Each structure stands twice: as C-alpha cells, then as structure tokens.
Amino acid sequence: MTLNKKLVLLKKILTDMGSVLVAFSGGLDSTFLLKAASLVLPRNKILAVTQDSPTYPKEELLFAKGIACLFGVRHKIIKTGELKNKRFYSNPVNRCYFCKKELFSRLKDIAKRKKIDFVIDASNVSDKNDFRPGNKAKDSLGIRSPLEEAYLTKKDIRILSKQLGLKSWDKPALACLASRVPYGTKISDKLLSRINRAEGFLRQLGFRQVRLRHYNGLCRIEVLKQDIPKLINKRSFITHKLKKLGYSYVTVDLEGYRTGSMNEVIK
C-alpha cells in the first residue's frame, strides 16, 4: 500500500469514529495522530489527554501542552498513580500492563463522561517488533490504534509529519523512564528523577537520542552509534557529573542506542 493510500485510510478511520479521545504523550506518533484527527474531525469532537507522571520527563508535558494549543484542540492533563501500585513499582516483566491498565481505564471513564465514542492511542505497525505487555490492557479495554489499522510504520509517520510541517517529525523516540530499569529492581520517584536528570544532562551536551540504563551503582549509556566517539571524547566530564548523581561506575554500550534493550535478557 502506498503512503498516500495509508493516509487516506487513516483519515477515513478517524472520520468514521465521529469523536475521539487521544492518548497524547506529545511524542512523534501521538502528535501525528492528533494532527490527523484535527484535519478530519471538528475540534469539539477531539479531546487530547496527557498523563502527568514521574515516569515521563516534565519537558515532554510542556511540549504536549504547546502542541495541543497549536492545533487548537481541547487538552486535559491527568495525574496517574502507578508508583503507588506494587504490581508496577516492584517492576515485574509485565510492569507495563499495570501502568497501561490504569491509564486506559481512566481514559475510558473520561470518554464515557464526555460522551466521546472512541479512545485511541498512537501504536503503529513498527511497535509490533518490541515486547509490549501493555497491549494486553489496551486490547482488553477496547482501545483503538488507528495508525496501526492504517498500516503506518514509524518511518511513514516521520515522512508524513514532515510533509505536514510538524516540528515533531524528527523528534527522538520517547519511552517511559521505567524502561531504563532492569526487571525486578524496585522503581521509585527518586530513581526516575535521577535517571531523568542524567539523561537531561546528556541531551544538553548534544546527544539527541540517549538512554541511561540503570543498574544501582552502575549506568550504561546508549547513544547513536555515530555519536559514540563524541561520548568517549567527553568521558571525563560525563563521568564526573554522573558520579555526582550517585553512579560509581559509568559505562558505554558499544552496540549503541536501540529500542527495548532491557528486553533482550528475556528473549
């Protein structure tokens, strides 16, 4: 299927839905989905809802606010309590399921109160390549994924986002901060804040795509392969900063950045 046909199909899917509540993180995929909805549905038939949680950087929340305002759609921010749920913070392999179940249950309740027909998220075809236990929660609650239904991949979404003039078209992939922590290691607000500060520091140094994987006193840094020499050149400065944040050992992953590297141990 051509890219244009996929876009036509996406618009038809959204039009047929009538009204939608968009699970809106402000990332590449959900920004494109919200924009597509705004092209075919009246503004009063769209509600974007963003999760305010320690599992996501605060700058992403600010970005989401700005995008919703730019698109002229209604935007609601909700605080979620996954860190109060032992089944989440104990960090089992299916941790994501409990987070998504709470989030999507909340979104379904909001949609019901607002008389919105569908709750939709920005899952796409490329997401099928990763381990995503949260999809079970999505499927059990009847959450729709129009991007996936229209056969759109991550690459397709970047191309279409650029064509639409969205500033998110080259935005690095976004993932929950809990994904930096090995399964079985307890997740806390303090730990997530530490990881967030470390990654924020690395982004300030010019590393746009970065992950800091946490192993108690050791951290493993992932950047794009072409950025590894730059990372090594700044090793003294980086090591000093990360040790101040509490890491005794600072390491570099020579395989470079890749999605779901924490899942490699369970495959």
Q: What are the tens digits of pLDDT across the range 226-239?
A: 999 999 999 999 99
| Model pLDDT for residues 128-169, shown as the tens digit of each residue | 776 677 788 888 899 999 999 999 999 999 999 999 999 999
Dihedral class, residue 4 (left if φ above 0, else alpha if ψ from -120 to 50, else beta): alpha
CA 144 to chain centre: 17
pLDDT at 98: 92
CATH number belonging to domain 3-163: 3.40.50.620
Q: Would the pTM count as exceeding 0.85?
A: yes
Measured CA to CA, the distance from residue 186 to residue 102 in angstroms comes to 19
Measured CA to CA, the distance from residue 55 to residue 147 in angstroms comes to 24
Q: SS3 of 26, please? A: coil
**Which of 216, 197, 215 has its CA nearest to residue 253?**
215
Instruction: Tell me the average pLDDT of the chain.
Output: 94
The separation between the first and the last C-alpha atoms of the chain, rounded to the nearest angstrom, is 31
pLDDT at 266: 55
CATH number belonging to domain 177-266: 3.30.70.2210
The owner of tokens 């690459």 is 155
Q: Where are the domains of the chain?
A: 3-163, 177-266
Least-confidence region, from 12-16, 83-87, 256-260: 256-260
Would the pLDDT of 48 be above 80? yes
